[in-house]
């Protein structure tokens, strides 16, 4: 079996691996927001409580060294996919139960922890199974299929829930079926990857009998190595601030699209939101990621860093326009969402590549996990406050204007990085 696996093309497992990585993330971060909005939860509570669900991604560096030390990345990847299939099933079963908000939040917490652990393992596996140029070449592909999962989640699953809401008249039943569909998808991914994932020589099966002292020593050394890297302070500022506008937007875009016009929203149905933001928007975001990966592989990250930062920043203005436009047509909403997501996808390529660049060297799996943990912190804190900011400012228009001001942090953080001109370039 191992001989067969070594001959398998990366095309056989990279698309499905990052589909499996993206699906639980989008369910926890975005689909849950739409579900709770449809169940009558306020913007402030949605942003605050779903914002806390970022915490596993923030603190995952605390257990990432154990993923490095114990077992193999392949073992962790497959095991977490089986776990995620079970936690989604739990969410589906708890939706019709009394106290569904508290119960489903607890199940989403378990999903988030399993998903964060899966991210550590699968990203580490990606770096162990591919050389540097292939990592750069496939970054657009992995981002694309991560976004395919987002289309499937906040597009297909949300549309499914919207259709069931209308046909059955039961919002809880509709969302229970939607979460059950996610459980089935993760179950299929777990079976596929149990068979198809290769066995890189660098991904050695580690014994589980190492002493507590050796594990703790490796844990401390891993963190010390991360924070002692050259330009660490500038890099950490970039990880925390590059996505500051999007961290706030992502929590309120769907409430903005769902809220009626008298509350400053677009008044779309659940199914329409699934099509506009979850399908057309994500396809545009995928296109931006593909283009970003291609140009970075040709010209290198250094050359494209600032164009990507500006593309990610300036396109936020589309939501400000929608909030002030008098009764925008549905086609206008489609176009504005597509433009913003295209810029965000293109700009996100720089972020992904820089995390890989900074993590290079010893303990790169754990260092990459620490970097993504800092990224998650930069998403979590602004996201938790987004609902309160919007209600305090008094309108969606004022909120979107504030996110445009926050774009200065994106461009400023990117401008201070120092990157080798050859990184990512063939």
* Burial per residue of 81-120, b for 16 or more beta-carbon CB atoms within 10 angstroms, e otherwise: bbbbbebbbbbbbbbeeeebeebbbebbbbbbbbbbbbbb
Domain borders along the chain are: 2-415
- Could you give the CA distance from residue 339 to residue 317 in angstroms, rounded to a whole number? 10
- Could you give the CA distance from residue 61 to residue 203 in angstroms, rounded to a whole number? 19
- The whole-number pLDDT of residue 179 equals 95
Query: pLDDT 10s digit of each residue in the chain, 426 long?
Result: 344 444 678 888 899 999 999 999 999 988 999 999 998 888 888 889 998 998 988 887 777 777 877 788 889 999 999 999 999 999 999 998 878 888 999 999 999 999 999 988 888 888 887 766 677 777 778 877 887 888 889 888 999 999 999 999 899 999 999 999 999 999 999 999 988 888 887 777 655 555 556 666 777 887 888 888 888 899 999 999 999 998 899 889 989 999 998 889 999 999 999 899 888 888 888 888 889 888 888 888 888 999 999 998 888 899 999 999 988 999 999 999 999 999 998 998 899 889 988 888 877 777 887 888 888 888 889 999 998 999 899 899 999 999 999 999 999 999 999 888 878 766
Q: 74, 124 in Cβ contact below 8 A?
A: no
Q: Please, where are the H alpha helices in 27-99?
A: 32-38, 43-51, 55-59, 64-69, 73-94
- Could you give the CA distance from residue 341 to residue 411 in angstroms, rounded to a whole number? 17
Residue partners of 326: CB distance under 8 A and separation at least 6: none
- The whole-number pLDDT of residue 208 equals 52
3-class SS at 292?
A: helix
* CATH architecture designation of domain 2-415: Up-down Bundle (1.20)
- The whole-number pLDDT of residue 418 equals 87
- The whole-number pLDDT of residue 213 equals 67
Q: 224, 366 in Cβ contact below 8 A?
A: no
């Amino acid at each position: 079996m191992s001989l067969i696996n070594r001959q398998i093309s990366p095309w056989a497992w990279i698309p499905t691996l990052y589909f499996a990585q993206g699906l639980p993330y989008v369910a926890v971060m975005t689909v849950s927001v739409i579900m709770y909005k449809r169940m009558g939860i306020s913007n402030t509570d949605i942003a605050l409580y779903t914002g806390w669900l970022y915490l596993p991604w923030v603190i995952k560096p605390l257990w990432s060294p154990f993923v490095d030390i114990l077992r193999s990345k392949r073992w962790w990847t497959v095991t977490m996919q089986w776990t995620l299939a079970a936690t989604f099933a739990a969410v589906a079963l708890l939706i019709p139960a009394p106290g569904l908000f508290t119960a489903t939040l607890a199940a989403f917490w378990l999903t988030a922890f399993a998903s964060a652990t899966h991210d550590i393992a699968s990203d580490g596996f990606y770096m162990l199974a591919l050389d540097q140029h292939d990592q750069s070449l496939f970054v657009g592909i992995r981002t694309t299929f991560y976004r395919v999962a987002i289309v499937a989640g906040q597009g297909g699953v949300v549309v499914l829930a919207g259709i069931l809401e209308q046909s059955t008249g039961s919002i809880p039943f509709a969302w229970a079926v939607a979460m059950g569909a996610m459980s089935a998808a993760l179950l299929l991914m777990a079976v596929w990857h149990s068979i198809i994932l290769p066995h890189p020589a660098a991904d050695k099966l580690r014994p589980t009998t190492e002493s507590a002292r050796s594990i703790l020593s490796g844990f401390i050394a891993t963190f010390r190595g991360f924070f002692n890297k050259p330009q660490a302070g500038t890099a950490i500022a970039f990880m925390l601030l590059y996505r500051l506008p999007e961290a706030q937007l992502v929590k309120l875009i769907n409430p903005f699209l769902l809220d009626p016009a008298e509350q400053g929203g677009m008044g779309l149905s659940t199914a329409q939101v699934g099509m506009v933001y979850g399908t057309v928007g994500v396809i545009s975001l995928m296109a931006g990621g593909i283009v970003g990966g291609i140009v970075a592989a040709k010209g290198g990250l250094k050359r494209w860093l600032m164009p990507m930062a500006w593309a990610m920043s300036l396109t936020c203005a589309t939501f400000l326009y929608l909030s002030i436009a008098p009764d925008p047509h549905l086609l206008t909403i489609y176009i504005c969402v597509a433009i913003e997501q295209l810029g965000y996808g293109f700009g996100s390529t720089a972020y992904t590549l820089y995390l890989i660049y900074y993590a290079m060297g010893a303990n790169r799996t754990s260092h990459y996990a620490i970097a993504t943990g800092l990224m998650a912190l930069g998403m979590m804190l602004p996201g938790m406050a987004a609902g309160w900011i919007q209600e305090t400012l008094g309108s969606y228009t004022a909120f979107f204007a504030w996110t445009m001001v926050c774009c200065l942090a994106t461009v400023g953080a990117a401008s201070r990085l120092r990157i080798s001109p050859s990184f990512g370039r063939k």
